[in-house]
Structure 1
Amino acid sequence: MAGPGGEPDPVIQTGRRVMAILLEVRGLFDEWVAAVAGTVDAAIGRYARRPCIVLAGESTGVLTARLQSTPKGQPLADGSFRIANGRPSPALTADWQAAFRGSRIETHLASGQVLFRPLDFPKQAVDFLDGMIRTQIDRLTPWPADDAVFGWSAPSQTSQDRIELMLAATSKQELEPLVQLAANLGAQSLVAFAAPPAAGETPADIRVFDRTLGGTSGRGFDTPRILRAVLLSAGAAAAVALLVGAYVGNSLDSEQQQLTRRISERRAALRLGPGGDSAVGLLARRKQTSPSSVVVLEALSKALPDGTYVTELRIDGDKVQVVGMTQDAPSLIRLIEKSPQFARATFFAPTTRAQNEPGERFHIEARITPSFGSNT
């Protein structure tokens, strides 16, 4: 689909790029899983005790199986069979079937099945032989790199700065019947060797094929599948942990916001009174409207004349009661009412004079006016 002006639709282009990236990532992931699975299988297989079976006679079509080593049990007599549709014909005995399960199968290829070529490299190429040989397989053998299996002998130094080795290669199709046979019998791995032509001393066999076929140690474990399951489980667990963490985090944030709001409300309530007035204003109003003992005493000391003594002073709400001695009790009513802090002064008990007292004992009650703490 094309966009305006005949240009490709940008949405389709973006989708294609995303698909290409996903396919590339999936390919890298599969390669990583395969590499790790191979490493795990090789590591466990190296230390696992398993039987080793040698197959010989492939060039004649009749294979002879010989149990080379077994971790337990009695040795088995050699067995012969042909390969028919990837299975032994005639069928193997139960003992041989049990021996093949989880075993390591080794076979030696006939010289007619293998191509041998001597190669010469600089001495500095010893550490890079795998890459250098692999990139030249198309030129060194009649098979493409994807269709060939190969190996090489240990390099030997021919001069001060040159090394030589023997390349052994064959087609994967030559080994396909053996691979099917080993897989159907439940073998753990298949290894194929090639014996190079003798030239002087007997050369060592060259390993041209080594593949892990079954699960680890022949127990039927599918290592790639296990790795994928473990990775998917770990990814799912991580996703669940992230979701739970996000949910718990949101819940904690909500609770924190509620607590912060409540704290703010409490602080505002402390600053404001029930009617919305500030606490400072309420305190000022209370100061102006509530009587103060010190102010009452000071006002009385100013209102009462010299020679008058106060023996009792009681403040009850907005009332004050004064008891004392004076020379002229009635005049105290007028003097107290002149003070702006008092009003409605009266005697709340009779005025008395005792023989041994110098003056009259008075009992005066007055109302305290709410003018304390005023700005005037």
Structure 2
Amino acid sequence: MGMISEFQQLFGEWIAAVTGAADAAAGQFIRSRRILLEEGDDDVFTARTIAAKKAPALPDLVFRLDSGRPQPPLPADWKAAFRGSRVEAQVQSGHVMTCLLDFPSKAGDFLDGMVRTQIDRLTPWTANDAVFGWSPPTPAANDRIDVIFAATSKLKVQPLLQYAQALDVASVAIYATASLGDGASARIKLLDQPWRSAIGTTRIPLLLRAILLSAGVAAAASLLISTYLGSSLQSQQGELQRQLSQRRAALRLDPNSTGSGLGLLAKRKQATPSSVVVLEAISRVLPDSTYVTELRIDGDKVQVVGMTQDAPSLISLMEQSPQFTRATFFAPTTRAANEPGERFHIEAHITAYFGSGT
């Protein structure tokens, strides 16, 4: 629970920081209307608009806040002017306490903390019950600086803040005027309260939450898909490795398998007669007076071309041999005048078995 609370706090701070940065950036380009309120006696205020582009000028308006309600009621055009504008209220000097403070010059970067610790001593209110501010520091003697401190009660400005919020203004700033002693005066900001962003107070947090939620859903979906695909690919890889292992084991156990390269070679060796063996068989069949000039082996057929004294007798000799069958002439037998015998062309089928030695 502690970690969840801490995460929620950090998440809220991050959203607030991003919203503030976006609002500050948008404020450089989107300028809201400014309305000045000057407090007079008996809670009477005078409202005037600061000239702005594309905004009609309105006449000054005087009204009195009675229990947080304007008397008389505001006209419709002034209500529209207050909506989304920045209100800068100048409180009456009689309701503000001012005093001159001096600090060492090196304390210029820590004025907020140093002034806040002295509110109980300088005013009748605590730091939580007062709105306060100070003027820019001015150099003084002995390496010191002077600031004019101004403060008033939160109860004094609360009705004005509530009414401004009811009018849906963008922000309210409260100022006080303090005399510098030489006839000059300083305008001191006591409070600056933003209520509505220049681009909408709820749009950015909702957008950030939607973006983070979408990113989380996308990350979860990506993780699930990658897990599923990874397990599927891993199972397929395991199946392929198993099949390869089985195939390799089968090849090792049966090297003469018809599906392997060694098996195919062994089968071809057994089914195809050797050329040397065929030549030896022909030399045994043919008589000594026969000469072979060409020998061609094509699959299970052998073609023999040569010279002999009696070509027809060669057919019967080859038919009688167990190594050859269906012997026949594949070309005419010829005899030339300058040749000692007949030129024959015999073709026969070779049997696949050539004795135990093959």
TM-score, scaled relative to structure 1: 0.72
2:154 aligns with: 172
Per-residue deviation at 1:204? 0.9
Given that 2:291 and 2:306 are in contact with CA atoms closer than 8 Å, whether structure 1 keeps it comes out as yes
1:196 aligned counterpart, secondary structure: strand
1:62 aligns with: 44
- Which shows bigger deviation, 191-200 or 317-326? 317-326
Q: Which runs of 5+ in 1 are unaligned?
A: 1-18
Q: Which runs of 5+ in 2 are unaligned?
A: none
2:92 aligns with: 110
Change over 3 Å in CA distance of 1:243–1:309 after alignment to 2:
farther
Pairing 1:118-197 to 2, within 5 Å after superposition: 118-134=100-116, 136-137=118-119, 140-197=122-179
Per-residue deviation at 1:104? 2.0
Pairing 1:7-156 to 2, within 5 Å after superposition: 19-45=1-27, 47-57=29-39, 59-71=41-53, 72-84=55-67, 86-134=68-116, 136-137=118-119, 140-156=122-138
Per-residue deviation at 1:57? 2.9
Pairing 1:262-301 to 2, within 5 Å after superposition: 277-292=259-274, 294-295=275-276, 298-300=279-281
Given that 1:320 and 1:368 are in contact with CA atoms closer than 8 Å, whether structure 2 keeps it comes out as no
Structure 2 distance, partners of 1:126, 1:46, is 28
Per-residue deviation at 1:227? 1.9
- Deviation track 1:259-297 (CA, whole Å, cap 9, x = no partner) reads 8967996999899699675222222331232235x4355
Given that 1:51 and 1:68 are in contact with CA atoms closer than 8 Å, whether structure 2 keeps it comes out as yes
1:12 aligns with: none
1:10 aligns with: none
Change over 3 Å in CA distance of 1:260–1:315 after alignment to 2:
farther
What amino acid maps onto 2:65 in structure 1?
Answer: R
Structure 1 distance, partners of 2:38, 2:333, is 147
Match status 1:209 vs 2:191: yes
Change over 3 Å in CA distance of 1:112–1:311 after alignment to 2:
same
The equivalent position to 1:310 in structure 2, one of 262, 268, 292, is: 292
2:323 aligned counterpart, secondary structure: strand
Structure 2 distance, partners of 1:98, 1:239, is 42
Per-residue deviation at 1:228? 1.7
Per-residue deviation at 1:171? 3.1
2:323 aligns with: 343
Per-residue deviation at 1:161? 2.1
What amino acid maps onto 1:105 in structure 2?
Answer: V
Per-residue deviation at 1:46? 5.3
Match status 1:368 vs 2:354: no
What amino acid maps onto 1:236 in structure 2?
Answer: L
In angstroms, what is the RMSD of aligned CA positions? Answer: 4.4
Structure 1 distance, partners of 2:17, 2:125, is 25
- Paired positions, count: 347
What amino acid maps onto 1:76 in structure 2?
Answer: P
- Which shows bigger deviation, 199-208 or 38-47? 38-47
Structure 1 distance, partners of 2:351, 2:120, is 120
Per-residue deviation at 1:92? 0.8
Given that 1:153 and 1:165 are in contact with CA atoms closer than 8 Å, whether structure 2 keeps it comes out as yes
1:234 aligns with: 211
Given that 2:150 and 2:176 are in contact with CA atoms closer than 8 Å, whether structure 1 keeps it comes out as yes
Structure 2 distance, partners of 1:260, 1:375, is 47
Structure 2 distance, partners of 1:355, 1:32, is 113
2:178 aligned counterpart, secondary structure: coil
What amino acid maps onto 1:343 in structure 2?
Answer: Q
Per-residue deviation at 1:60? 1.4
- Deviation track 1:165-207 (CA, whole Å, cap 9, x = no partner) reads 1222233332221111111112222111112245223221111
1:69 aligned counterpart, secondary structure: coil
- Deviation track 1:97-118 (CA, whole Å, cap 9, x = no partner) reads 1221222212222334333343
Given that 1:347 and 1:362 are in contact with CA atoms closer than 8 Å, whether structure 2 keeps it comes out as no
1:165 aligned counterpart, secondary structure: strand
Per-residue deviation at 1:337? 8.2
Identity %: 41
What amino acid maps onto 2:158 in structure 1?
Answer: E
Change over 3 Å in CA distance of 1:316–1:139 after alignment to 2:
same
Structure 2 distance, partners of 1:144, 1:299, is 127
